[in-house]
């Protein structure tokens, strides 16, 4: 007697259960989306504020901080570009470009050594590589200044490039190493069987496979060197060699700051990095890294 | 293996060369046969930047055998960079320096050139300077710097609001408190103050110390070797500052000086304690601006009338290879012609006499200059008058006092401790 | 693991070591300098042995700064590492992946914006009268919570820490996204077939599989928390008083305002020791480099 009943009731139970689960999933997803959008607003609103304020006069920023500009001062951008950025743009590009290239290259080599080889003192070496993370650059200002003077590179682009690379290596090595560690050994063994040298494996397999992390580290190095201020001011005297952050300083002073123009300058300055980041996005497509053993 | 080494080595050297090519060599004297002076100042922004560029250009025209390389770095970074440069033996020939303690640092370390003989020799030039502005650059009766601008700190007020309420500029402390309470009762922000940066507090504290503490006690205490800060006058000075707190805007520690100035120039606050150099920064206001010196304080034992304010100027490195030319440049910078140019184009007050007139200054600016010239005595900026460590203890303590987190007595205890350790060190 | 020639790994690390000299020479210089006292203006260095350290360990501001750094560390681990991982996991989830590029771009943007701008922005945000934060609190009727965030000694450091989180969560999330993308989807598919829900999958697959990246994230966050300089310096200068002072700003003040170079070096050495210990502990705890069974 019960059997037929069970047969009849079972599908209903299953249906309700599935419906319950589906409802839960939709509510779950909605909550998540709401969370993402709230977080989005928390991040985007201040950034929007920055852009809107860059069209205001200093006075308006102080008195009407949260409303739309009374008049859209495009002159802010013109002024910022003409006196703050244009002459310094090329210098920033050179310094940032060279720093990124060197940092990623040197770090990739080092990360390879650290992740794919067994040798004595590996842990010790790892700690040494982390050295740059362990202090604020401000601390090294005076010793570095002497070193740079002694090396004869003071007041040249190298005075910035070399320290930047040195201070970005720790983070970059850590990241690339973490990524390399997750690349399956089978790939290497297969290449070795094909007669590849270790260097060949690095350049023909690891590097192409690591595009996401290499691009990430490039961006991270780029944003640091592009915005770095302290070394840029102290290690370079010649106005013609200065980078953008030093150039933008023209709009600040203890008693008075041209905030509108400064914000315009900083927006212009942020643009190339943002564009670089957007360009990088397409390399984050899933599946590039997987499936290459086949 | 060898191949790896080769590749690595060549990669490295390529990148280094790439970076190096983009650099430049700094030229040395012998290259051009000219004399090169390095000139370092703290104004990379307009209008000062162009002013100095033009002064340099004009000087070079008149002295074709001298080349001047100018570098300008912003205020805070300036303090960093000049320290780094001086600390490692590559100082600029001519460099900006605040007066008093900041200048004394250089003198103590033998990094500044003694200019007294030039002052005596070129008296036609030196007599045209406002004499009261030379003392802040004088150490042990020797002159080490040349003042270029002068400044004073005064109370500025909104004349329209005062007229409306029938108020007059106060002449003593009680009158000041009266004025403030009337303003408050009528729902105005009586006195705007942005104390987020401690230097703004140092101006109040410094002037109050001048008013409350006997001058000889003050000079003993401001000297690192003998300072104890135990006089009750210091506590009283801080208490006077506390008396002003109810009339300030709320939360002064969250507000910076610039924002506060905007509140005054927008007519939102009735009074503001500021430097005369800021008159230009008020911009065109919808109301008339009046000013008065910090009033005398009735129960104060100190100097009742001096004006707080210091010159800013330049010093010459003791290691310079061209002292004569460097001094010529500074004398040129402080000639009457360049002084007038400073007033006109930059809106600051030149330390050269008779440079401010109605063709280059607003009536308020002329009034300000007058005040400075009339001042029987000037008092230096407080944070430049004492050892930096004592100033730090004083100001961080006072900042907490403004929040109600510390009492005047507690602040002075901290100051006394700092003074004791400075004293101990200076005896070594 | 390869083992062709004993020297090979060292050769790969050689260029990095060459550059790192620029980091280490100043480090050793600092340690050496901490045994002396001098000012940049006077040429004589006076040997004082461990005097600077004795002075430092008696200094109440040192302990206040240290406490602030510890606060920084704890809060950063929770929000940046914890929050970053969760955000990354959410964004990489099958259901959300469509919109992921959009969200992650925005979340990462604060990282590329210079600190000068962010500081200005938040100074206005925290302004007691016209600031957005207090205005929002007023709107939802929480007036009583409105404070002068940057000007109150009790809240100043938290306000500063919050700004760092705002800027950096997206940064760590980005790193985790890269790591999560490397996880083989088959692991998730298998788990789903076994009936695991999202939470289970997160804790049993995502977290273990991103172990190496977590090691990086924790080291970065912790060392960052002890070396942080820009945010407190620009937002509050360490104030009001010394309530939001951190070790780096205190060091900077000692060196550049108070002209106590040896003392500054001793603070730098202490920071170095702390971060070194943290890194060593992390390395042990994560057993980094060793592969999972």
Give the tens place of pLDDT for each residue, C234-259.
888 887 888 999 999 998 888 888 88
Q: Kindly state the tokens that stand for C146.
A: 């409105």
d(Cα C31, Cα C15) in Å, to the nearest integer?
25
Kindly report the backbone phi and psi dihedral angles of residue C121, in degrees, each rounded to the nearest multiple of 5, phi listed first: -55, -50
Q: Kindly state the tokens that stand for B272.
A: 């503001």
Residue closest to B101 by CA, chosen among B314, B381, B303, B351: B381
- Residue A69: inside a domain: no
Helix locations, B288-362, DSSP H: 323-333, 336-346
Asked whether the beta carbons of residue C30 and residue A46 sit closer than 8 angstroms, the reply is no
pLDDT at B26: 40
SS3 B393: helix
Q: Tens digit of pLDDT for each residue in B374-394?
A: 887 889 999 889 988 899 999
d(Cα C160, Cα C236) in Å, to the nearest integer?
8
pLDDT at C5: 65
Q: Is the pLDDT of residue B355 over 70?
A: yes
Q: Are strands B269-275 and B189-192 parallel, antiparallel or unpaired?
A: parallel
Q: Which residue of B has its CA nearest to C55?
A: B421
Chains in contact with A via at least 3 Cβ–Cβ pairs below 8 Å: B, C
Q: Are strands B153-158 and B378-379 parallel, antiparallel or unpaired?
A: unpaired
Q: Please name the member of A135, A220, A266 whose beta carbon is closest to the beta carbon of C27.
A: A135
Same domain, residue pair A32 and A89: no
Is residue A178 a contact partner of residue C212, using CB atoms and an 8 Å limit? Answer: yes
Q: Are strands B378-379 and B307-308 parallel, antiparallel or unpaired?
A: parallel
d(Cα A108, Cα B329) in Å, to the nearest integer?
53
Asked whether the beta carbons of residue C179 and residue A135 sit closer than 8 angstroms, the reply is no
Interface of A with B in 245-284 (CB under 8 A): 249-258
Same domain, residue pair A34 and A138: no
**Smallest CA–CA separation between B328 and chain A, in Å?**
24
pLDDT at B214: 93
Residue A66 is given by DSSP the state T
Same domain, residue pair A35 and A92: no
CATH number at residue A150: 1.10.3720.10
Residue closest to B389 by CA, chosen among B415, B352, B413: B415
Between C122 and B407, the higher pLDDT residue? B407
pLDDT at A12: 58
Residues 6 or more apart whose Cβ sits within 8 Å of residue B225: B423, B426, B427
Is residue C15 a contact partner of residue A112, using CB atoms and an 8 Å limit? Answer: no
Residues of A in contact with C19 (CB under 8 A): 102, 106, 162, 165-166, 169
- Residue A163: inside a domain: yes
Same domain, residue pair A29 and A163: no
Residue spans of beta strands (DSSP E) within B112-188: 138-139, 142-143, 145-150, 153-158
- Residue A39: inside a domain: yes
Q: What is the mean pLDDT of residues C179-184?
A: 84
d(Cα A45, Cα A37) in Å, to the nearest integer?
12
Range of the domain at A107: 75-289
Say which range, A262-271, C37-46, C219-228, has the weakest mean pLDDT: C37-46
Asked whether the beta carbons of residue B84 and residue A234 sit closer than 8 angstroms, the reply is yes
Q: What percent of chain A has pLDDT over 90?
A: 10
Q: Kindly state the tokens that stand for C209.
A: 């599989």
Residue spans of beta strands (DSSP E) within B28-80: 35-41, 66-72
d(Cα A58, Cα B256) in Å, to the nearest integer?
14
Same domain, residue pair A113 and A257: yes
Helix locations, A54-80, DSSP H: 58-63, 75-79
Same domain, residue pair A29 and A174: no
A196 touches chain B (CB under 8 A): no
A294 touches chain C (CB under 8 A): no
d(Cα B82, Cα B141) in Å, to the nearest integer?
25
A149 touches chain B (CB under 8 A): yes
In which order are the strands placed within the sheet that holds B269-275?
B189-192, B269-275, B153-158, B289-292
Is residue C30 a contact partner of residue A139, using CB atoms and an 8 Å limit? Answer: yes
Q: Tens digit of pLDDT for each residue in A79-133?
A: 888 876 788 888 999 999 999 999 999 999 988 888 877 777 788 888 888 877 7
Interface of A with C in 52-81 (CB under 8 A): 61, 65-66
pLDDT at A3: 47
Q: What is the mean pLDDT of chain C?
A: 85
Q: Tens digit of pLDDT for each residue in B4-18?
A: 444 444 455 544 444
d(Cα C89, Cα C213) in Å, to the nearest integer?
13
Same domain, residue pair A237 and A131: yes
Is residue B263 a contact partner of residue B249, using CB atoms and an 8 Å limit? Answer: yes
User: Band of the pLDDT at A209, cuts 50, 70, 90?
Assistant: confident
Instruction: Give the largest CA-CA distance in chain B.
Output: 92
Is residue B26 a contact partner of residue A155, using CB atoms and an 8 Å limit? Answer: yes
d(Cα C244, Cα C155) in Å, to the nearest integer?
9
- Residue A8: inside a domain: no
Is residue A267 a contact partner of residue A84, using CB atoms and an 8 Å limit? Answer: no
Residue spans of beta strands (DSSP E) within B140-245: 142-143, 145-150, 153-158, 189-192
Same domain, residue pair A184 and A250: yes
Same domain, residue pair A280 and A200: yes
Number of other CB atoms surrounding residue C241 within 10 Å: 26
Residue spans of beta strands (DSSP E) within chain A: none
Residues of C in contact with B254 (CB under 8 A): 126-128, 148-152
DSSP labels, C65-104:
HHHHHHHHHHHHIIIIIIIHHHHHHHHHSTTTGGGHHHHH
User: Band of the pLDDT at A205, cuts 50, 70, 90?
Assistant: confident
C44 touches chain B (CB under 8 A): no
Residue closest to B258 by CA, chosen among B177, B312, B199, B307: B199
Is residue A80 a contact partner of residue A251, using CB atoms and an 8 Å limit? Answer: yes
Q: Please name the member of C25, C110, C177 whose beta carbon is closest to the beta carbon of A43.
A: C110
Same domain, residue pair A167 and A208: yes
d(Cα B87, Cα B109) in Å, to the nearest integer?
10
Domain count for chain A: 2
C-alpha R_g of chain C: 23
Q: What percent of chain B has pLDDT over 70?
A: 92
- Residue A271: inside a domain: yes
Q: Residue A92, class by beta-carbon neighbours within 10 Å (0-12 exposed, 13-18 middle, 19+ buried)? A: buried
Alpha carbon separation from C60 to A43, B414, C55, C245 (Å, rounded): 37, 11, 10, 11
Same domain, residue pair A116 and A259: yes
- Residue A119: inside a domain: yes
Give the ipTM: 0.80
In which order are the strands placed within the sheet that holds B145-150?
B66-72, B35-41, B94-98, B312-316, B145-150, B349-350
Q: What percent of chain A has pLDDT over 70?
A: 84
Residues 6 or more apart whose Cβ sits within 8 Å of residue A75: none
User: Band of the pLDDT at B361, cuts 50, 70, 90?
Assistant: confident
Asked whether the beta carbons of residue C239 and residue B388 sit closer than 8 angstroms, the reply is no
Query: In sequence order, what are the beta bridge partners of A215?
Result: none
Is residue C249 a contact partner of residue C65, using CB atoms and an 8 Å limit? Answer: yes
User: Band of the pLDDT at C115, cuts 50, 70, 90?
Assistant: confident
d(Cα A224, Cα A97) in Å, to the nearest integer?
12
Interface of C with A in 100-119 (CB under 8 A): 101, 103, 105-118
SS3 B270: strand
Kindly report the backbone phi and psi dihedral angles of residue B319, in degrees, each rounded to the nearest multiple of 5, phi listed first: -95, 5
Q: Which helix (H) or strand (E) holds C248?
A: helix C247-252
Same domain, residue pair A43 and A157: no
Asked whether the beta carbons of residue C23 and residue A66 sit closer than 8 angstroms, the reply is no
Instruction: Give the distance, in angstroms, between the CA of residue C31 and the centroid of all CA atoms in the same chain.
Output: 23
SS3 C135: helix
d(Cα C285, Cα C293) in Å, to the nearest integer?
17
Q: Can you state the angle between helices C8-33 and B2-21, rounded to 10 degrees? A: 50
SS3 B33: coil
Residues of B in contact with A103 (CB under 8 A): none
pLDDT at A2: 45
């Amino acid at each position: 007697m019960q059997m037929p009943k069970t047969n009849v009731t079972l599908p209903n139970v299953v249906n309700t259960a599935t419906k319950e689960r589906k409802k839960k999933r939709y509510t779950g997803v909605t909550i998540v989306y709401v969370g993402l959008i709230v977080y989005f607003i928390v991040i985007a609103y201040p950034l929007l504020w920055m852009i809107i304020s860059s069209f205001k006069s200093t006075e308006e920023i102080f008195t009407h901080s949260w409303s739309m500009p009374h008049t859209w001062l495009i002159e802010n951008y013109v002024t910022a570009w003409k006196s703050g950025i244009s002459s310094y743009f090329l210098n920033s590009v050179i310094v940032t470009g060279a720093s990124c290239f060197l940092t990623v290259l040197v770090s990739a080599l080092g990360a390879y050594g650290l992740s794919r080889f067994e040798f004595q003192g590996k842990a010790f070496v790892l700690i040494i590589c982390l050295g740059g993370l362990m202090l604020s650059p401000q601390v090294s200002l005076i010793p570095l200044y002497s070193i740079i003077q002694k090396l004869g590179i003071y007041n040249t682009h190298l005075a910035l490039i070399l320290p930047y690379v040195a201070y970005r290596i720790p983070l970059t090595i850590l990241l690339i190493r973490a990524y390399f560690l997750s690349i399956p050994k089978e790939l290497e063994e297969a290449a070795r069987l094909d007669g590849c040298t270790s260097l060949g494996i690095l350049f023909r397999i690891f590097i192409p496979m690591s595009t996401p992390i290499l691009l990430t580290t490039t961006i991270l190095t780029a944003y640091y060197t592009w915005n770095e201020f302290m070394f840029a001011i102290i290690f370079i005297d010649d106005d013609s060699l200065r980078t953008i952050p030093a150039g933008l300083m023209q709009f600040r002073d203890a008693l008075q700051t041209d905030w509108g123009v400064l914000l315009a300058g900083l927006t212009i300055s942020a643009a190339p990095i943002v564009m670089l980041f957007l360009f990088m996005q397409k390399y984050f497509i899933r599946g590039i890294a997987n499936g290459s053993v086949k | 293996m060898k191949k790896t080494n080769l590749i690595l080595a060549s990669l490295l050297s390529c990148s280094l060369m790439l970076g190096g090519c983009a650099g430049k060599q700094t030229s040395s004297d012998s290259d051009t046969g000219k004399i090169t002076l390095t000139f370092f100042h703290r104004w990379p922004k307009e209008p000062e930047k162009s002013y100095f560029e033009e002064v340099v250009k004009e000087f070079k025209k008149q002295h074709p055998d001298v080349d001047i390389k100018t570098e300008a770095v912003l205020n805070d970074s300036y303090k960093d960079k000049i320290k780094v440069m001086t600390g490692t033996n590559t100082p600029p020939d001519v460099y900006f320096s605040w007066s008093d303690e900041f200048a004394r640092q250089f003198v103590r370390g033998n990094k500044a050139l003694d200019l007294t003989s030039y002052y005596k020799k070129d008296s036609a030039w030196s007599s045209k300077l406002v004499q009261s502005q030379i003392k802040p650059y004088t150490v042990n009766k020797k002159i080490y710097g040349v003042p270029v601008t002068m400044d004073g700190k005064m109370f500025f007020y909104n004349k329209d609001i005062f007229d409306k309420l029938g108020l007059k500029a106060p002449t003593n402390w009680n009158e000041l408190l009266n004025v403030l309470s009337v303003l408050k009762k009528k729902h105005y922000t009586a006195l705007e103050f942005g104390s987020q940066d401690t230097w703004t507090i140092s101006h109040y504290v410094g002037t109050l110390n001048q008013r409350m503490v006997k001058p000889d006690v003050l000079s003993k205490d401001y000297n690192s070797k003998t300072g104890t800060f135990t006089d009750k006058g210091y506590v009283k000075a801080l208490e006077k500052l506390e008396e002003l707190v109810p009339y300030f805007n709320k939360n002064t520690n969250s507000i910076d000086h610039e924002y506060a100035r905007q509140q005054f120039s927008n007519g939102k606050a009735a009074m503001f304690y500021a430097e005369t150099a800021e008159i230009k920064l008020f911009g065109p206001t919808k109301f008339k601006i009046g000013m008065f010196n910090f009033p005398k304080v009735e129960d104060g034992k100190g100097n009742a009338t001096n004006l707080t304010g210091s010159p800013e100027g330049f010093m010459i490195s003791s290691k310079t290879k061209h002292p004569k030319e460097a001094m010529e440049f500074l004398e040129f910078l402080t000639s009457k012609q360049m002084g007038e140019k400073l007033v006109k184009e930059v809106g600051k007050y030149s330390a050269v006499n008779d440079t401010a007139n109605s063709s280059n200054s607003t009536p308020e600016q002329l009034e300000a200059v007058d005040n400075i010239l009339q001042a029987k005595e000037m008092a230096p900026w407080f944070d430049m008058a004492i050892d930096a460590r004592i100033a730090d203890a004083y100001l961080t303590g006072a900042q907490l006092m403004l929040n109600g987190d510390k009492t005047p007595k507690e602040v002075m205890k901290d100051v006394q401790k700092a003074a004791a350790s400075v004293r101990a060190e200076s005896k070594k | 693991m390869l083992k062709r020639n004993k020297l090979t790994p060292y050769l790969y690390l050689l260029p990095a070591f060459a550059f790192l000299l620029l980091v280490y020479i100043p480090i050793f210089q600092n340690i050496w300098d901490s045994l002396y006292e001098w000012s940049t203006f006077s040429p004589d260095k006076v040997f004082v042995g461990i005097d600077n350290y004795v002075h430092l360990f008696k200094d109440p501001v040192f302990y206040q700064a240290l406490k602030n750094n510890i606060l920084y560390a704890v809060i950063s681990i929770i929000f940046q590492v914890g929050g970053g991982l969760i955000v990354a996991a959410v964004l990489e989830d099958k259901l959300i992946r469509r919109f992921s590029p959009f969200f992650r771009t925005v979340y990462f943007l604060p990282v590329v914006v210079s600190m000068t701008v962010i500081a200005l922005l938040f100074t206005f945000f925290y302004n007691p009268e016209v600031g957005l934060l207090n205005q929002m609190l007023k709107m939802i009727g929480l007036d009583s919570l409105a404070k002068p965030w940057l000007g109150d000694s009790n809240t100043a450091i938290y306000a500063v820490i919050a700004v760092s989180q705002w800027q950096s969560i997206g940064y760590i999330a980005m790193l985790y996204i890269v790591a999560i993308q490397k996880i083989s989807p088959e692991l998730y598919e298998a788990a789903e077939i076994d009936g695991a829900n999202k939470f289970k999958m997160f804790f049993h697959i995502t977290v273990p599989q991103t172990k190496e990246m977590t090691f990086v994230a924790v080291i970065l966050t912790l060392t960052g928390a002890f070396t942080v300089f820009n945010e407190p310096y620009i937002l509050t200068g360490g104030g009001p008083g010394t309530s939001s002072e951190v070790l780096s700003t205190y060091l900077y003040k000692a060196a550049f305002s108070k002209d106590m170079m040896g003392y500054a070096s001793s603070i730098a050495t202490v920071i170095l020791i702390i971060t070194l210990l943290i890194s060593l502990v992390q390395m042990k705890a994560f057993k980094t480099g060793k592969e999972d069974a």
